[in-house]
Structure 1
Amino acid sequence: MSAAEDADAARPAPALSVVVPSHDRPLRLRWLLNALAEQSAPAGSFEVLVAHDSAGPETDALLRSHPLAVTGTLRTLPFAPGTAGPAQKRNAAWRAAAAPTVLFTDDDCRPPATWVAAALDACAASPGAIVQGPTQVDPDELVVKLHAPHARTQVVELVGGEPSIWAQTCNIAYPRAVLEALGGFDEALPLAAGEDTDLAWRARDAGVPVAAAPAMLTYHCVEPASLLARARESWRWQHLPYLTRKHPEIRRSYAGGGYFWKPQHVRVPFLLAGAALLLRGRPLAALAAVLPWAVPSLPSYGTGLRGRARAVSELPAHAVLDVVEVAALARGSVRHRSLLL
């Protein structure tokens, strides 16, 4: 046995394993690893496992040279480029983890220095439970969200002190025993998104408690995107009806009696009626028809003239995204025989 292997064997097992799936985001991944290197939790109390299928050499170079790797805190699970989805990568990483608790996050997150310590405290306070923390927009990138109308980010709020029904893996901890009992994330699901929600609901059905941990805060990046990119991304939600059919309890969170994913989707028929009237050369009637959709959909940029003008200018893009989402869900409803719009 080598000296390095002797040192690994002598090192006590960590209390927490941080699992990160990654794909061709070397800069974002570096920022995440830097944030993990600055955690206030005691050295040796956690480890980091990154599973990735990145094509470029930058990710491998980063994972070999980062200070967390040098100290033995970071371990890497590489896949052939483009061969593994998030579920496969998360499964491989938690199965290789050494800790009894697995804390999932994403490679586009950047936690504050208290994140791991807060997770350790929250999991100790709720033994055997799935523990979810909130996710907020990265304060260093908030200006991007305010100025890029189609920017992508992730916000998870613990409304009323309750965990989110979606159980997003950007910030959630599972007992390893629960993952083993359930077999982890279902890699066979016909989903481009939603495997995290499916796992949490299977755990709920098995009687596993779910707890909220407001202090277990992390930050999510903001990525500028074009309207076309956002529309393409929205198409992945066509598999949400399948998830809803598999876990019908989720319908309680939907609008319109449980058949509309978002409240604004209920009002999309007004938008379509307005478009039809406009094509018939009746602009005033079209304007009147879309008002029930437009008024609640108006973004808020303050009460000043400039803010209101910007909000109105963005309405056409919101209309495109709402129609694309409803179309994707309609397609999924037919495919999976579960109505959701």
Structure 2
Amino acid sequence: MNRPDRPPPATDADPPAVPDYAVVVPTLGRPSLRTCLEALVATQGPLPSRLVLVDDRPPHHPQGRRRDLGVPEVLRPVTTLVPGGGRGPAAARNAGWRAAGPVPWVVFLDDDVVPGPAWARELARDLDRAGPRTAAVTARIAVPLPTDRRPTDWERNTAGLATARWITADMAYRREALEAVGGFDERFRRAFREDADLALRALDAGWEIAAGDRRTSHPVRPADRWVSLRAQAGNADDVLMTRLHGRDWWDRAAAPRGRLPRHLLVTGAALAAAGCALLGRPRAAALCAAGWLAGTAEFAWARVAPGPRTRAEIATMAATSLLIPPAASWHWLRGLWLHRRVRPPASPYGTPPPGTPRAWSPAGEPVPS
């Protein structure tokens, strides 16, 4: 397939020859998609030989299914639109890379990222340095935060993407590796943990993951005040990760453990206070209620203190800090029930030889077990 014509990059030396690559973008039709694609076209270096947009809105979405998602003219000859059916980003990415054709590399981008001005040229270098056992090459993600005030809780949470180990907001995967491990696990229905699961399976199958130099910006998208409450559904995904990869997956993926143990204690204190009150034990109820109140206050202050401390932010932190512990506990219990029969697979990807890398260092070098 021919690449779109474009002028050569303005550099003193030609970039390394890059294998054909496809870009796969799952999208919900957000306006940020146009910005992402326009930045891709403006970048220096070779454009993808294939662009696959996976429209992951449900089939009966109220906005309808637009055929024109703002694809720049230069990319239209190589663009394919694939319906995702609203089954989540893991399934959408699987549909995308399988529709991309026999390209050696597939680069996954989120529809709200902005590739840097030299992204394609830097990608060429990243892929040129990849060894034959390199399954994937990461990118450097930057999350722009406000400079005139402290970031909000939501902005700080988004900033954590900059240090996420294997984030698929911008991740290049070798197609051969995707085929070898079966792609993304579609039981992960949210944009959470599906990238770490795929990376761990690739490492277990004997592949390596390297750190790339290309740069991508991930702006903080607008969100309502309840976004942190909805995010607690990820506790069920953490249960699935533990079922699939064992309890050490947190360390292997360098994933923060969060506050689930504290949320369980705070929720338990609230339930105990209610139970003691019903049993006519006021002193015990008061003691448990004090524990619940202290835990809730500590959680709220931990979120308010580093933020802008505006009235709106404080009100949001107070309301959500009251509701997050029981929500997190509920989703954790839900995950235990939903995934109660899940067991680690008996290595359908083959048994890695002794000394196969199982960890990953910031320099991109494999770390022996």
Give, in whole Å, the separation in 2 of the partners of 1:150 and 1:294: 21
Task: For 1:172 and 1:13, locate their aligned partners in 2 and report how far apart those are by CA, in whole Å.
Answer: 16
The Cα shift of 1:267 comes to 1.9
Match of 1:87 among 67, 79, 90: 90
Q: Which residue of 2 aligns with 1:132?
A: 138
Shift of 1:309: 10
- The offset of 1:15, in angstroms, is 3.2
Contact 1:115/1:218 (<8 A) preserved = no
Pair 223,153 (structure 1): closer, same or farther in 2 beyond 3 Å: farther
Give the conservation status (yes or no) of the 8 Å contact 2:267–2:325.
Answer: no
**Offset of 1:301 from its aligned partner?**
5.0
Report the aligned-residue RMSD.
4.2
**CA distance, structure 2, for counterparts of residue 146 and residue 68 of structure 1:** 37
1:14–1:45 contact (8 Å) kept in structure 2: no
Letter of the 2:29 counterpart: D
Residue 120 of structure 1: aligned partner: 124
Kindly indicate whether residue 111 of structure 2 is the aligned counterpart of residue 107 of structure 1. Answer: yes
Q: For 1:62-73, what aligned pairs fall within 5 Å after superposition? A: 62-63=69-70, 66-70=72-76, 72=77
Amino acid corresponding to residue 160 of structure 2 in structure 1: V
CA contact (8 A) 1:151 1:224 kept: no
TM-score (norm. length: structure 1): 0.73
Structure 1 portions without partners, runs of 5+:
none
8 Å CA contact 2:4, 2:49 repeated in 1 = no
Equivalent residue in structure 2 for 1:234, among 232, 235, 250: 232
Normalised TM-score (structure 2):
0.68
Q: Distance in 1 between matches of 2:142 and 2:324?
A: 23
Aligned residues with identical type, % of pairs = 26
Could you say if the C-alpha distance between residues 289 and 235 of structure 1 is closer, same or farther in structure 2, counting changes exceeding 3 Å?
Answer: closer
Q: Counterpart of 1:96 in structure 2: which amino acid?
A: A
Q: CA deviation at 1:107?
A: 1.1
**Partners of 1:68 and 1:145 in 2: how far apart?**
40
Displacement of 1:323 after TM fit?
A: 2.6
Q: CA deviation at 1:76?
A: 1.8
**1:199: which partner in 2?**
198
Counterpart in the other structure of 2:28: 23
Q: 2:241 aligns with which of 234, 240, 243?
A: 243
What residue number does 2:323 align with? 320
* AA of the residue aligned to 1:217: T
Matched, 1:332 2:335: yes
Distance 1:309 1:13 in 2: 49
Report the count of equivalent residues. Answer: 314
In structure 2, what is the Cα distance between the partners aligned to 1:18 and 1:262? 32
Contact 2:25 2:109 survives alignment (8 Å): yes
Aligned to 2:42: 38
Q: Which has the higher helix share?
A: 1
